Amino acid sequence: MSALVTPLPQRGAGRVAIIGAGTVGSTTAYSLLIAGTAREIILINRNRKVAEGHVEDLKDATLFSYNPRIAAGDFCDCRTADVIIIAAGVYQTSQKSPAAIRGLAYEVAALKAIASETRTAGLEIQHAKGATYYGIGAALTRIAGAILRDENTVLTVSSPAPESIGLGSVCLSLPSVVNREGIASVLPISLNGAETQGLHTSADILKRHLMMLEMPAGTAA
């Protein structure tokens, strides 16, 4: 007895361009496809053949999932995209710990445990398999869906910190209202003394690393 596999109907809304077709970019494209989030997915990569290979692989998955248009493109495609996801970056090795794992001091033991696990989870995955991308792809799919569907939902996403919280010129992930316009507003948050200190410590770490990136080559930190 044979069975006929019929793709699910196209249900996504909008065009998503993904810059970078490495593990994060390709996994995000797959997550968008499986969730039926986008009507069209464009993969852009420095090596176009890599993008084209992922496109053909992803098209095989449309036989058992939703059926958006998937194609390899270039930067010109970003002009007509509703959402642009930048997934290009330097491959993170286990020898180079991200700045996010630097410690934050909390007074409450439970918060210490949560913070420690959150900061080191990605590093543990990198030690085990070289990179982390499934969670990132799923998170990006959720954010893209909130934008494309104009949800006005609250998500923790990164943007320039409001002047009102006194963190200076830095971007941090804070609870925000996300809709078709992107981040519509950053919500005020109530923190105790230890949490406020931890937030300021995170901001200071990011600013120091940003200064290092802006230094001329060969300049001592």
Q: What value does the mean pLDDT take over residues 108-124?
A: 65
What φ, ψ does residue 21 adopt, rounded to 5°? -110, 40
- Report the length, in residues, of the chain: 221
Q: What is residue 164's DSSP assignment?
A: G
What pLDDT shows up at residue 121?
73
Contact 61, 89 (CB under 8 A): no
Asked if residue 104 belongs to a domain, the reply is: no
pTM of the model: 0.72
- Quickly count helices (H) and strands (E) in the chain: 5, 7
pLDDT digits (tens, 9 = 90+) for 11-61: 567 999 999 999 999 999 999 999 999 999 999 999 999 999 999 999 999
* Residue percentage of the chain with pLDDT more than 70: 78
Q: What is the pLDDT of residues 135-157, one digit of tens each?
A: 999 999 999 999 999 999 999 99
Q: Quick one: pLDDT at residue 76?
A: 92
CA distance linking residue 53 with residue 182, whole number of Å: 31
Q: Measured over all CA atoms, what is the biggest interatomic distance in the chain, rounded to whole angstroms? A: 71
Residues 86 and 39 in one domain: yes
Q: Does 32 share its domain with 83? A: yes
- Binning pLDDT at 50, 70 and 90, where does residue 218 land? low
User: Whole-number mean pLDDT of the chain?
Assistant: 82
Query: Do residues 163 and 207 both lie within one domain?
Result: yes
pLDDT tens digit sequence for 125-135? 878 887 888 89
Q: What integer is the mean pLDDT of 95-100?
A: 45
Asked if the model's pLDDT at residue 118 lies above 70, the reply is: no
Rounded CA separation 50/20 (Å): 10
> H or E segment at 195?
helix 193-214
- At 106 the three-state DSSP class reads coil
Based on the fold, state whether residues 175 and 137 are members of the same structural domain: no
* Residue at 182 is within a domain: yes
203, pLDDT greater than 80: yes
Q: Within this chain, do residues 142 and 156 fall inside the same structural domain, yes or no?
A: no
Question: How many structural domains does the chain have?
Answer: 2
Residues 59 and 136 reside in one and the same domain: yes
Contact 43, 71 (CB under 8 A): yes
Structural domain of 49: 8-91+131-149
136 and 205 in a common domain: no
- pLDDT-based confidence at residue 194 (cuts at 50, 70, 90): confident
CATH number of the domain to which 154 belongs = 3.90.110.10
CA angle 47, 209, 193 (to 5 degrees): 130
Between 214 and 192, residue with greater pLDDT: 192
Query: Would you say residue 207 lies in a domain?
Result: yes
Reference 130, options 105, 162, 96; nearest CA is 96
Averaged pLDDT, 58-80: 92
pLDDT of 20: 94
90 band by pLDDT with thresholds 50, 70 and 90: low
Asked, for residue 106, whether it belongs to a domain, the answer is no
Q: Are residues 18 and 81 in the same domain?
A: yes
Residues 65 and 144 in one domain: yes
> Does 67 lie in the same domain as 135?
yes
Q: How many CB atoms lie within 10 A of CB 192?
A: 12
- More confident: 165 or 94: 165
> Is 30 in the same domain as 19?
yes
Residue from 71, 73, 68 nearest 38 by CA: 68
Confidence at 113, pLDDT banded by 50, 70, 90: low
